[in-house]
Amino acid sequence: MRVPTSPSARAKRQIASLMEEVEVLKQDKATKKRKTTFYVSQGRAIRRMVDLYAPIEDLIAENDQRCEESDKDATPEQDRLQRGYIELAKALSWLHDKLAGLDHEESDDMLKKLKRGADSARGDDTGTLKELVASWVNIECCPTPLIRTDDKHHRGFVSDACGKLLCPAEWRWEDPVVKAGIRDRTTAFIVSENSWPSFMYENYEADTKNLERGLFKSKLLLITLQGLKAIFTSPSSAHEVDGEGDGADIIENNRRARKRSDQAKVKTCIRFALSNLTSWRTVDGDFDYHIFWNNVVDFFEDAPGPAARARVNKLLEWWTRKVFGRNHRQDLTADIVSHMSVSTLATQRQQMEDAELDSD
């Protein structure tokens, strides 16, 4: 049995149903687009604040394995991955719970989008420093001819200025035997990630009897505080006055990242910017950037004892002050504020007011 209806009414209802389906599809598409934008933008923090190289999947897998085999001895590489996961959970605080609620396909899709944002940010950052470092070398070293900001072919060891900065700290670039050996790539002068480059040392020279002295304190690295601000904020912030950075977001970024990634990231990117490589890659001749990254991170995180840890903390505080400005608001106690001119004036006005009342 059926109840007859008009063709026109049926057609209207079908059209309305189809329009509802189209609207649902539009909403799904908009939702997917918003998710993509969110994940990609969030992923940009990973190469900056977590790990410059390790795949996100490896960080997650290492944490999962430790949850299942908590008493298993770990290798140094596994320890690095676990530290990376902890930093990842700090940088993207929503990620840990999100992973637990997604199925494999959804999780896979999210990680791909995060990776896209991470790799995009690394490309942007190295591109920014390629130009900025050239300008800083021209100012700091005054090479002849000047380093071109738009061309990397004349950097690296073919350039005296870049060669001096890239030269392993245990050798002297001014020694013609050293210079020729490095340029000819002889076995006696292999430049690898096993040597600290001179650009990382104060005055670009190392004390071979105390290689920690002056490490990470070169003037070029201090100038690179502008590059660090360009990475965490924007390229325009790189031109602000030295040591006058502000902004709660910048300070908070530094507090979360300063123990590992910002230090290693900038030094790795500067080394790349000084080289004559025209595109990002992990290995440059005998120099492995990934291992170099690990060496820098290990210096800060794997101190051999409390004395070394104290020196590391002192160095980090020094860098915080130099890079992010002299912000001491947390030190403005009530007692200190009470002696400043605004409080003093308020007290004086009140005293004058009281004196007037007493005179009446």
Q: What confidence score (pLDDT) does residue 280 get?
A: 79
Q: What confidence score (pLDDT) does residue 28 get?
A: 67
Q: What confidence score (pLDDT) does residue 206 get?
A: 94
Res. 256: pLDDT tops 60 = no
In angstroms, the CA 61 to CA 294 distance is 19
Q: What confidence score (pLDDT) does residue 247 get?
A: 38
Distance of CA 147 to the CA centre of its chain: 25
> Worst-scoring range by mean pLDDT, 140-149, 190-199, 232-241?
232-241
pLDDT band at 327 (very low <50, low <70, confident <90, very high): low
Q: In terms of Cα–Cα distance, which of 225, 311, 322, 227 is closest to 272?
A: 227
- Bridge partners, 287 (sequence order): 284
Mean pLDDT of 216-227: 77
Res. 59: pLDDT tops 90 = yes
Q: What confidence score (pLDDT) does residue 281 get?
A: 82
In angstroms, the CA 360 to CA 354 distance is 10
pLDDT band at 262 (very low <50, low <70, confident <90, very high): low
Q: What confidence score (pLDDT) does residue 215 get?
A: 94
Greater model confidence, 167 or 270: 167
Mean pLDDT of 62-91: 88
Greater model confidence, 268 or 179: 179
SS3 content of the chain, % helix, strand, coil (to 5): 65, 0, 30
> Worst-scoring range by mean pLDDT, 1-5, 72-76, 235-239, 285-289?
235-239
Which tens digits make up the pLDDT trace of 123-132?
887 777 888 8
Which tens digits make up the pLDDT trace of 276-318?
888 878 899 899 999 998 999 899 988 999 999 999 999 988 8
- Check residue 277 and give left, alpha or beta (phi > 0: left; psi -120 to 50: alpha): beta
SS3 assignment, position 166 = helix
pLDDT exceeding 70 applies to what percent of the chain? 83
The pLDDT mean for the chain works out to 82
Q: 10 Å Cβ neighbour count for 10? A: 10
Which position has the token pair 């530094």?
254
Q: What confidence score (pLDDT) does residue 250 get?
A: 36
Q: What confidence score (pLDDT) does residue 192 get?
A: 95
pLDDT band at 346 (very low <50, low <70, confident <90, very high): very high
pLDDT band at 193 (very low <50, low <70, confident <90, very high): very high
